[in-house]
Amino acid sequence: MDTESALFYRQLPKVELHAHLNGSVSSETMDLLMKRKPHLNIERGMTAILREQRRSLDECFQVFKVIHQLVDSGEDILLVAKAVIQEFAADGVKYLELRSTPREVTETGLTKQIYIETVLEAIRQCKQEGVDIDVRFLVAVDRRHGPEVAMETVKLAEDFMLCSGGTVVGLDLSGDPTVGHGKTLLPALQKAKNCGLKLALHLSEVPSQRDESELLLNLPPDRIGHGTFLHPEVGGSDSLVDKVCKQNIPIEMCLTSNVIGQTVPSYDKHHFQYWYNRGHPCVLCTDDKGVFSTDLSQEYQLAASTFKLSAEDVWNLSQQAIGCTFAPEPIKQKLEKMWAELKQQIL
Ligand code: 6MZ
């Protein structure tokens, strides 16, 4: 099959490793939520950004505030989490690591504990209903909330890691990269690592994070989110690149998100090229498929057309992502087998 065909990308088995739950809510699900809460006066254009549009990162973060108003109860979380999982499965994603920041909302009785339990319930229900996808969960720390909340979140993540039967596998560090400094979060991140949680950290998403990235790379994280400004050509440094390469830390790359949020000026200037050409493990991801009006098939197609990847290159890229998951070895082997079986039919 040729790489021009949208069907090829849909059929391509895929691994999604960087998807924020509330950023991934589709416009169809948003419509349902808006109908449930008409008093909020939220319209479609306030929860998603069209592909052709450009926004500052700050404006992107305003969108999450609006979405959080719409998703503020256990019932809402169950609805959005199930819908997001089903949509990824329909897009040909076979393995998904979903991430989300547990929130509490006094008015609806939502607690952080209930928040995580509800996401896990959504994952359980999808499995029971036979949705063809393996889903794991990363508990997210929002850097804006500071070190105490980060430590609390790590404790919660640890508890769930121990009792979720392998569904909670790691910790994400995200939130507005222009707020706070990672050094204050080091004790919480170190604790997470010590107790066996895998670390997926947003790193160098904006240029001002060079010192922070130096520090956080010493942990080291198990995966890097974005890593847009790590290399010297964009104001990073050789020392950062060395640390990433020596430790072979995979980078989650989100093309549409970075171009819409303008941390990358255009698709052909995306840092995917830099790392891919070095043979470094790069994993294509959506980041926030609802907010940035995309899906993972589209991200693969975009990467292929921008960087002139052959069908074989695209296949290898999706297969390589299996090795970058936080799944236990037997699951990785199962996915490898699935890819091997599908290869004959699809490529
Ligand atoms: C950093 C991001 C992000 O957790 O409520 N988030 N953090 N950089 C990004 N690049 C665009 N996109 C999303 O999902 C929404 C939250 O994910 C993080 C932010 O903390 C946002 O509030 P959850 O499911």
Torsion sign over Cα 203, 209, 210, 211 = negative
- Predicted pLDDT of residue 5: 87
Task: Give yes or no for a contact between 23 and 17, defined as CB atoms under 8 angstroms apart.
Answer: no
Closest protein CA for atom 22 of ligand 1: 64
- Predicted pLDDT of residue 329: 98
pLDDT tens digit sequence for 34-91: 999 999 999 989 999 999 999 999 999 999 999 999 999 999 999 999 999 999 999 9
State in Å: Cα 200 to ligand 1 middle.
13
Q: How far apart are CA 269 and CA 287, in angstroms?
A: 18
Q: Which two tokens stand for residue 55?
A: 């926004």
**Which mutation among 25, 49, 57, 61 tests ligand 1's pocket best, with the greatest number of atoms within 8 A of CB?**
61
- Predicted pLDDT of residue 219: 98
State in Å: Cα 296 to ligand 1 middle.
17
State in Å: Cα 307 to ligand 1 middle.
27
**pLDDT above 80: residue 2:** no
**pLDDT above 90: residue 181:** yes
**Is 104 known to be catalytic?**
no
- Predicted pLDDT of residue 190: 98
Q: Which residues does ligand 1 sit against, CB inside 6 Å? A: 20-23, 60, 64, 100-101, 140, 142, 174-175, 202, 205, 257, 261, 287-288
**Which mutation among 64, 68, 201 tests ligand 1's pocket best, with the greatest number of atoms within 8 A of CB?**
64
**pLDDT above 80: residue 32:** yes
Q: How far apart are CA 24 and CA 287, in angstroms?
A: 8
Candidates 88, 98, 127; CA nearest to 21 is: 98
Q: How far apart are CA 297 and CA 92, in angstroms?
A: 8
**pLDDT above 60: residue 1:** no
Check 87, 205, 212, 252 and give the catalytic one.
205
Mean pLDDT in residue range 174-196: 97
pLDDT tens digit sequence for 334-347: 999 999 999 989 98
pTM: 0.98
**Mean pLDDT over the full length of the chain:** 97
Q: Which two tokens stand for residue 323?
A: 């090795």
Phi, psi values for residue 8, rounded to 5°: -55, -45
Mean pLDDT in residue range 142-150: 98
Q: Which two tokens stand for residue 324?
A: 């970058």
Q: Tell which atom from ligand 1 comes closest to the C-alpha of 261.
A: 11
pLDDT tens digit sequence for 275-319: 999 999 999 999 999 999 999 999 999 999 999 999 999 999 999
pLDDT tens digit sequence for 3-26: 568 999 999 999 999 999 999 999
Confidence of residue 158 (pLDDT cuts 50, 70, 90): very high
Amino acid at site 327: A
Closest protein CA for atom 3 of ligand 1: 175
Pairing of strands 198-203, 251-253: unpaired
